[in-house]
Amino acid sequence: MSRRIAVVGAGMAAARFAERFHALGGEAEVTLYGAEPRAPYNRVLLADVLTGRYDAEAITLPSGDAALRVGAEVGSLDTAARTLRLVGGEQQSYDQLVLATGANPVLPPIRGLRREPGGLKAGVHALRTVSDCRQLAEHAARARRAVVVGGGVLGVSAARALAALGLPVEIVHQGPQLIERQLDEQAGRALQGGLARLGVVTYCGNRARAVRGAERVTGVELAGGYLLETDLVVLACGVRPRTGLAHSAGLLVRTGVLVDDRLAASAADTYAIGDCAEHRGVVHGLAGPAWEQADVLAARLSGADPDAVFTGSRPLARLSAGPLEYAAFGEVADEGPGLDVLRLTDATRGSYKKLVLRGDRLVGGILLGDLATVGAFTRAYERDDPLPREPLHLLTTLGAF
């Protein structure tokens, strides 16, 4: 019998692993077990499904020759016996196991978020799956206004999508500025200005304290007592690795499932990749690193490169949101030994560029509103290439350098 690889989760990391494994000539029966009732898809594009730009089918991802079990949630694992059991009771054996269970949205400690007893109050939504997206779109079509709690990447994408659907939107964000993990203060302000032009009002440094309404949401109360009236709330307060299954199977879990540079977890022939994995103390929570990990594991398990290792990912984030598009990579802080910072702000066009250099190397940058040079910059950053021109030219050059 040929080798059997079971992949738990049929999301972005799982699909990429299966696709690469077969493309690299791997010989094994790969089975993806996915809790969602559909084939793997590109979650990053969900905001565009919400606006209607893409149909849900159009964002489906390839998964090589893998067998796909959809609507098949794995309820328990026995890593010693190498068996898994589906929630319905069916048991399957495997030789190697890949955990790619992703992450769940964090539900913030806000009073009145839930119905008693039960799930979220009517009108309150998270956005992680196509099913969440469908419910949100249905509700948005009837809503008069929306509040997004959280001003990170997901919150900004959701707010932009809801504004595109014609709703007045307010973002409540606890941090000092939008997307403070990736943008500096000036970029955050420029983004806020861009959102304002789309009809999105942002309240930074504010915390949502309570959701008002008996059966349905009627408003969001801020910590200062101010009330935002609304009939639709989207929660975008980050994600938490989905580790329950790994934890009950006795695998080592801290924030995520602990893996080494081979992406191996703490039991033999057991691996973890994507949002559920914690590598060198980092849970990435981004598609790029999830795919890099999938590529490394596919190279190892297919035999194409049995010594491939994942040593970390160079931070690179990109938001494609029409006029609000930006890319941020590497070190974006202003100060540090040996760092030179170049900036160009174009208030008329609403663009902002910042490059952080160490000597002739690009170690970080932010491009907002004008991404003409993004390909050249991110290539130079990822390959650690020396920059070929006078640094000041880089800010104004159009196209590749």
Give the interface with ligand FAD as residue ranges (CB under 6 A): 8-14, 33-36, 43-44, 46-47, 73-74, 100-103, 127-128, 153-154, 157, 242, 245, 274-276, 285-288, 290, 319
Residue the block writes with tokens 């939504």: 125
The distance of closest approach from Cβ of residue 263 to ligand FAD in the complex, given in angstroms and rounded to an integer, is 12
The distance of closest approach from Cβ of residue 280 to ligand FAD in the complex, given in angstroms and rounded to an integer, is 17
Hey, is 270 helix, strand or coil? strand
Q: Which is nearer to ligand FAD, 46 or 217 (CB)?
A: 46
For the chain, the first-to-last Cα distance in angstroms comes to 54
The distance of closest approach from Cβ of residue 319 to ligand FAD in the complex, given in angstroms and rounded to an integer, is 6
The distance of closest approach from Cβ of residue 127 to ligand FAD in the complex, given in angstroms and rounded to an integer, is 5
- Of all helices (H) and strands (E), which one includes residue 149? strand 146-149
Q: Which is nearer to ligand FAD, 11 or 188 (CB)?
A: 11
User: Measuring CA to CA, how many Å separate 62 from each of 22, 126, 191?
Assistant: 11, 26, 34
Percent helix / strand / coil, the chain, rounded to 5: 25, 30, 45
Candidates 68, 348, 22, 332; CA nearest to 177 is 332
Q: Which is nearer to ligand FAD, 103 or 362 (CB)?
A: 103
Distance, in Å, from the CA atom of 73 to the CA atom of 78, rounded to the nearest integer, reads: 15
The three-state DSSP-derived secondary structure of 224-237 is CCCEEECCCEEECC
Q: Which is nearer to ligand FAD, 213 or 274 (CB)?
A: 274
Length of the chain: 401
Q: 200: which 2 tokens?
A: 């999105």
Burial state string for 94-109 with b = 16 or more CB within 10 A and e = fewer than 16: bebbbbbbbbbbeeee
The distance of closest approach from Cβ of residue 104 to ligand FAD in the complex, given in angstroms and rounded to an integer, is 8
Q: Which is nearer to ligand FAD, 14 or 164 (CB)?
A: 14
The distance of closest approach from Cβ of residue 328 to ligand FAD in the complex, given in angstroms and rounded to an integer, is 11
Distance, in Å, from the CA atom of 316 to the CA atom of 358, rounded to the nearest integer, reads: 18
Q: Which is nearer to ligand FAD, 11 or 369 (CB)?
A: 11
Q: Which is nearer to ligand FAD, 13 or 387 (CB)?
A: 13
Sign of CA dihedral 181, 186, 191, 192: positive
User: Measuring CA to CA, how many Å separate 162 from each of 54, 72, 140, 156, 199?
Assistant: 15, 32, 7, 10, 10
Q: Which is nearer to ligand FAD, 74 or 368 (CB)?
A: 74
Distance, in Å, from the CA atom of 362 to the CA atom of 379, rounded to the nearest integer, reads: 10
Which positions ≥6 away from 379 have C-beta within 8 Å?
Answer: 385
The distance of closest approach from Cβ of residue 10 to ligand FAD in the complex, given in angstroms and rounded to an integer, is 6
Residue the block writes with tokens 């009771």: 89
Q: Which is nearer to ligand FAD, 103 or 299 (CB)?
A: 103
The distance of closest approach from Cβ of residue 86 to ligand FAD in the complex, given in angstroms and rounded to an integer, is 8
- Of all helices (H) and strands (E), which one includes residue 50? helix 46-50
Residue nearest to ligand FAD (CB): 11
The distance of closest approach from Cβ of residue 274 to ligand FAD in the complex, given in angstroms and rounded to an integer, is 2
The distance of closest approach from Cβ of residue 231 to ligand FAD in the complex, given in angstroms and rounded to an integer, is 21
